[in-house]
């Protein structure tokens, strides 16, 4: 039986190791609706979405976490966004349809950025080069560099859903001997590596943990719901227009009679007429659009 969509945290009760499982079903389907991505792009976007949820449940923050890759390869941009409330969206962008099947060609000479955007205040961003052969390996590289935490990611995309498993070694508390810590971490990650993609996609969380770690005491927490929700709004669209500048916006208005902007994520259209646009540039944006 397939497990429900959502994410579940687990801990090893006698080890300094934690983990998270995620499975995306309806939200993945909604994100892909009306988008005809090639198979490899669709598969990579599924990995980005699963990874963004895993990271959102691991990093303490309030706001939005954006996982984004830019490259000189066949896929110039791919991103997934997950909020602290586990609202999810994602997109891939290209001009010519990618034909590559592997990570290197799709994201050649790329960088991976992890951005935390709080409701107020400055955003935090960490960037690593895409030097590894998979998104999972690049994320492990990021955590090793920026957080000094040993981490292992397992990511997979199926026909109608995607899933992920994260393991992370915590600072020494329960086990302080470094050799024992290294040995236990090696054993746990080797066991996790035996999990197949189909098992990660299909098995219940309890069955996955028993299949991998039945010799350990593992505590599984309640599932948290993940849902698709686009964060676009009329106000944010107006702010984007304001950032373009009054002269350019008025030139477009004179040419077209009105300005229509569609959200790339959900397809919603926002139309701005003459009076509204002139009001936009008279005083601060946040007081004008509702």
Q: Quick one: three-class SS letters along 165-231?
A: EEEEECCCCCCCCHHHHHHHHHHHHHHHCCCCHHHHHHCCHHHHHHHHHCCCCEEECCCECCEECCC
Q: Any idea which architecture 6-228 has in CATH?
A: 3-Layer(bab) Sandwich (3.55)
Dist. CA 207–CA 54, nearest whole Å:
19
Percent share of the chain, pLDDT over 70: 96
pLDDT band per the 50, 70, 90 thresholds, residue 250: confident
Number of Cβ within 10 Å of residue 93's Cβ equals 12
pLDDT band per the 50, 70, 90 thresholds, residue 251: confident
Q: What is the pLDDT of residue 178?
A: 92
Residue 90 and residue 126 in contact, taking contact as beta carbons nearer than 8 Å:
no
Distances (CA, A) of 47 to 118, 155, 279: 24, 6, 42
CA 133 and chain centroid, separation: 18
Query: Is 234-287 in the same CATH topology as 6-228?
Result: no
pLDDT band per the 50, 70, 90 thresholds, residue 287: very low
Dist. CA 149–CA 177, nearest whole Å:
17
What token pair was written down for 89? 């969206």
Residue 10 and residue 20 in contact, taking contact as beta carbons nearer than 8 Å:
yes
Correct CATH for 234-287 of 1.20.1250.20, 3.40.50.80, 3.20.20.70, 3.90.1280.10? 3.90.1280.10
| Residues 222-248: tens digit of each pLDDT | 999 999 988 777 888 888 888 888 888
What token pair was written down for 210? 């028993």
Number of Cβ within 10 Å of residue 122's Cβ equals 8
In a 3-state reduction of DSSP, which class is residue 68?
strand
Nearest to 49 by CA among 8, 15, 7, 98: 7
Lowest mean pLDDT among 17-26, 42-51, 157-166, 274-283: 274-283
Q: What is the pLDDT of residue 2?
A: 57
Q: What is the pLDDT of residue 283?
A: 57
All structural domains of the chain with their residue ranges? 6-228, 234-287
Question: Backbone phi, then psi, for 280, in 5-degree steps?
Answer: -55, -40
pLDDT band per the 50, 70, 90 thresholds, residue 285: very low
Distances (CA, A) of 115 to 173, 178, 190, 202: 29, 32, 30, 31
Dist. CA 19–CA 199, nearest whole Å:
17
| Residues 58-95: tens digit of each pLDDT | 888 889 999 999 999 999 999 999 999 999 999 999 99
Residue 44 and residue 155 in contact, taking contact as beta carbons nearer than 8 Å:
no
Q: What is the pTM of this model?
A: 0.86
């Amino acid at each position: 039986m397939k497990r429900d969509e959502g994410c579940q945290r687990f801990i090893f009760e006698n080890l300094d190791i934690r983990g998270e499982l995620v499975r995306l079903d309806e939200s993945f389907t909604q994100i892909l609706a009306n988008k005809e991505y090639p198979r490899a792009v669709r598969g990579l976007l599924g990995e980005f979405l699963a990874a963004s949820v895993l990271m959102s449940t691991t990093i303490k923050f309030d706001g939005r976490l954006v996982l984004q890759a830019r490259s000189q390869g066949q896929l110039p941009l791919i991103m997934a966004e997950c909020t602290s409330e586990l609202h999810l969206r994602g997109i891939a962008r290209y001009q010519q349809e990618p034909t590559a099947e592997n990570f290197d060609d799709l994201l050649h000479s790329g960088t991976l950025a992890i951005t935390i955007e709080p409701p107020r205040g400055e955003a935090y961003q960490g960037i690593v080069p895409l030097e590894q052969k998979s998104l999972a390996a690049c994320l492990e590289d990021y955590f090793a560099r920026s957080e000094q935490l040993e981490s292992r990611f397992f990511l997979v995309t199926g026909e109608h859903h995607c899933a992920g498993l994260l393991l992370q070694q915590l600072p020494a508390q329960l086990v302080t001997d470094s050799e024992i810590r290294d040995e236990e971490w090696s054993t746990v990650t080797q066991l996790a590596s035996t999990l197949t993609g189909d098992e990660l996609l299909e098995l219940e969380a309890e069955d996955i943990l028993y299949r991998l770690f039945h010799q350990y005491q593992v505590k599984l927490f309640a599932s948290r719901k993940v849902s698709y929700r686009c964060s676009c709004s009329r106000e944010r669209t107006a702010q984007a227009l304001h950032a373009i500048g009054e002269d350019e916006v008025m030139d477009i208005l004179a040419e077209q009679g009105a300005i229509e902007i569609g959200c790339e994520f959900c397809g919603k259209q926002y139309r701005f007429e003459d009076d509204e646009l002139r009001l936009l540039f008279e005083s601060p944006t946040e007081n004008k659009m509702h």
